Amino acid sequence: MENETKVTPWQGWTLFILRWGLMIAASLAYHSLRRDAPLSEISIPFVIGAALNLLLAAFLVFPAFHKAVPFASLPGDWVLAGLYVQLALTTNNTLFLTAVVSAVLMMGMFTAGPFIGIISAIGTIGTALIVIGINTKLPLSQLLSDYSQPLLFMTLIAVLCGVWSFVLDHLIRTQRNELHAVASTRSKQLLDIRERTKAMYEMASTLSSTLHYQKILDALLDVGRVSLRERGNQRMASAVLLFRAGDNALQVTTSRGMRHVDEARVVQGEGGIIGEALTQCIPIIGKEITKDPELQYFVAFQGMRSTLCIPLRAGYNNFGVILYACDAPNAFNEESIELLTAISTQATIALQNAVLYRNVLEEKERIVEVEEEARKKLARDLHDGPTQTVSAIAMRMSYIYRLLERQPEQVPAELKKVEDLARNTTKEIRHLLFGLRPLVLESQGLTAALGQLAEKMKETYGQNVAVRVARDVEPYIDSHQQGTMFYIAEEAVNNARKHAEAEVISVTVTRKDQMVFLQISDNGVGFDLGAVDANYDKRGSLGMVNMRERTELLEGSLRIESAEGKGTTITIAFPLKEGAAKKVAQKSSKPTTKLDAMTLEKLGNNASQR
C-alpha cells in the first residue's frame, strides 16, 4: 500500500510540469479575454503559483523530503485553484472558471493517485466555492443554484478522473505485484544457483586437489545430489561402480541412498543401460528399471522412474560407471545431464591422477636407486680416469727428483710428459665437471653455460643448437635454479639430438612477471605421446624421469607437446622465489602472475604422462 499513501517522485515531477502548463495557459486565456487588464492581475497569481511550484521541486530534489510531497502538493493545488478562480471571476466567463478548476482536478487525480486525488478534488472544488462565495457574497443555496452547471461539470470531471485513476492504479499495482513476484522468484532462483554453484565449486576443488580415491568418489556423489536438489523431497539414490582387477566385474564402491544388500552386489556391465553406456561411451537414460537385466535386482532402485548412467572414462580407459536414480519421471533434463557428465569427467581425471600419483611414488623410489647408481658411476669414472692420471703424475714427479741428481739433461723431457699428463687430466676433469656443473655456469651464469653447451654440441656432434635467454631472467634466479635449468636443458637437448633427427634445437628462457619459462623445441620427427605413455614402464631411458624430478626441485611444472612429424616442445614453468618475486613486483607496475595450484596440477599431469 505504499503507493497509496504517498506521491512518488515521477508523479511529483509530472505535477510540477503540468502546473507550469496550467499557469501559462490560464494566463494566456485571461489575456485574450481581458486585453485591457493590468499586468499585475496576471503576474500576481503567476508569481505565487511559481513559488509554490518551486517549493514542490525543492521537496522532490531531496530524497529525505519525498514523504512530504503530498503535503506540499495538495495545498499548492488548492491555492493555485483559488488564485485562478479569483482571476476567472473578473472575466465573468463561466467556461474559463470551469476549465481552470477542471484542469486542477485532473492534475490531482492523475499525478497523486486515486486516494490522494479524491482529497485533492474535494479540496479543489471546496476552494473554488469559497473563493466564489467570498467574491459574490451569495448565500450557499443561491451559489449552488447559480453555478450549478459548472459545479456539475466539475463533479463529473472529478468522478470520471477518479474512476480512470482507480483503473490505472489497479493496473499499475497488478503489474507491480507481478513484477515483484517475478523478481522474488528470480532472486530465489539466483540465490539457489549461487549456493549450488558455490557448493559444486568447493566440491570440484576438493575433487581436483585430493589424490585419495574414496574422497573423489564421495565428492562425485555429493556434487550430483547438489546439482539435482531442485527435485525437493523426492527419493533419490546414486552409486559408483568400478571395475575389479580380478574378474573385470563392476562392484559398488560408494553410494548414497542404497541399502547394504545393494552395496554387496556385483554386475558384469554387459547388459541394460550400464552395458549400453560402456559400449557407446555416452550417458544413457533409463526409464523402466524393472526390465533392466542388471539393475532390477537392486532394492534401492525399485520404484525409481528415472535413471541416468554415465561412464567414467579417461582416454581409452574405462574405470566404471556412476548411476543416478530418482522416483520422479523425466528427472534428468539436458542441462542436468551435461552438468553431471562434466562433473563425472572431472572425477574420472581425478581418479586417473590418483593412480598417477601412486605411480609417481613408486617412480620416486626408483629415482633414488638411479641416483645412487649415478653416484657410483661418477666414483668409477673418477677412479678410472683422473685419479689414475694424477697417480701417474705423482710417480713421474718422484722419478724426476731422482733424475735431477743422476741425469739432469733428461728432466725437461720428463717435465714435458708430466705437462701432457696434467693437460689430459685437466680435460678429463673439465669434461666431468661440465657433465656435473659447467664452470662457466658458476662464473658467467646460465646464458654463457647454455652458449657453451651449444658450442660443444656443434663441435662434438655437429648438432645446431640455438640459444636465446631474455635479459630480465638471470638477475632474478639464483645459482641453484640456474644449475637445475641447465641440467634440464642439457637432458632435453641430448634427447632431441639422439631421437629427434632435428636440424635445429632451440633453447629459450623467458620471464613473465613472477614466472620463468624454459622451453626446448625441435623441428624433428616428433613422437606419439600416447604410444610413449603405453610402454613408458618398459623403457630404459631415464631422460624424462630426470627432467621431471628436477622440475619438481624448482617447484614448477613440465609440459610436453609432440606429434609425429611435427617436432617436440618441452616447456618448464616455475615461480620465482619470494625475494626475487618481491623485487619484480616492485619494479613492475603490471599485475603479477602466479602459478596457482590448479595450473601446477594440470601441467604436472601432462608431465607425468611423459
Q: Tell me the pLDDT band of 534, cut-offs 50, 70 and 90.
A: low
pLDDT of residue 539: 53
Tell me the HSE value of 480 on the side-chain side, using a 13 A CA sphere.
7
Higher pLDDT, 587 or 592: 587
Of 501, 514, 522, 524, nearest to 574 by C-alpha is 514
pLDDT of residue 464: 92
| Region 209-217 average pLDDT | 70
Any idea which residue has 477518479 for its cell?
A: 162
Q: Tell me the pLDDT band of 598, cut-offs 50, 70 and 90.
A: very low
CB of 287 closer than 8 Å to CB of 301: no
CB of 490 closer than 8 Å to CB of 498: no
218-235 confidence digits (pLDDT tens): 777 776 666 665 455 677
Higher pLDDT, 204 or 446: 446
Higher pLDDT, 463 or 67: 463
Q: For residue 315, is pLDDT > 50?
A: yes
Q: Is 324 exposed, middle or buried (0-12, 13-18, 19+ CB in 10 A)?
A: buried
CA–CA distance, 494 with 293 (Å, rounded to integer): 57
Angle between helix axes 411-436 and 334-382 (nearest 10 degrees) is 170
pLDDT of residue 516: 93
Q: pTM score, two decimals?
A: 0.37
Average pLDDT over all residues of the chain: 78
3-30 confidence digits (pLDDT tens): 444 456 777 787 778 888 888 888 888 8
CB of 54 closer than 8 Å to CB of 15: no
pLDDT of residue 377: 56
| Region 559-586 average pLDDT | 82
Phi, psi torsion values for 266, nearest 5 degrees: -130, 135
Higher pLDDT, 360 or 200: 360
**Local structure of residue 235 (DSSP, 8 states):** -
Other CB atoms within 10 Å distance of the CB of residue 341: 16
20-66 confidence digits (pLDDT tens): 888 888 888 887 887 777 777 788 888 888 888 788 788 788 877 77
Q: For residue 249, is pLDDT > 70?
A: yes
Strands 236-243 and 250-256, bridge-based pairing: antiparallel
Phi-psi region of 526 (alpha: psi -120 to 50; beta: other; left: phi over 0): left
pLDDT of residue 430: 65
Of 264, 259, 200, 261, nearest to 235 by C-alpha is 259
Question: What's the Rg (C-alpha) of the chain?
Answer: 46
Of 505, 546, 549, nearest to 525 by C-alpha is 505
Higher pLDDT, 262 or 208: 262
pLDDT of residue 569: 93
Higher pLDDT, 205 or 517: 517
Q: Tell me the pLDDT band of 594, cut-offs 50, 70 and 90.
A: very low
Q: For residue 467, is pLDDT > 90?
A: yes
Of 6-10, 306-310, 510-514, least confident by mean pLDDT is 6-10
Of 134-138, 330-334, 539-543, 563-567, least confident by mean pLDDT is 539-543
384-403 confidence digits (pLDDT tens): 667 887 888 888 788 888 88
Checking 430-435 for CB contacts under 8 A at 24+ apart, the result is: 432/378, 432/381, 432/382, 432/385, 432/386
| Region 396-422 average pLDDT | 81
pLDDT of residue 433: 66
Higher pLDDT, 372 or 555: 555
Higher pLDDT, 359 or 472: 472
Sign of dihedral through CA atoms 107, 109, 111, 115? positive
Q: For residue 71, is pLDDT > 60?
A: yes
Q: For residue 260, is pLDDT > 50?
A: yes
SS3 at position 354: helix
Q: For residue 517, is pLDDT > 90?
A: yes
Q: For residue 236, is pLDDT > 90?
A: no
CA–CA distance, 143 with 584 (Å, rounded to integer): 93
Of 277, 325, 333, 279, nearest to 299 by C-alpha is 325
Q: Which range, 171-180, 344-353, 358-367, 527-536, has the best average confidence (pLDDT)?
A: 171-180
Q: For residue 112, is pLDDT > 70?
A: no
CA–CA distance, 184 with 26 (Å, rounded to integer): 47
Phi-psi region of 81 (alpha: psi -120 to 50; beta: other; left: phi over 0): alpha
Tally: H helices and E strands in the chain: 20, 11
Higher pLDDT, 8 or 243: 243
Q: For residue 588, is pLDDT > 80?
A: no
Q: Tell me the pLDDT band of 432, cut-offs 50, 70 and 90.
A: low
Q: For residue 157, is pLDDT > 50?
A: yes
Of 172-176, 273-277, 319-323, 368-372, least confident by mean pLDDT is 368-372
pLDDT of residue 570: 93
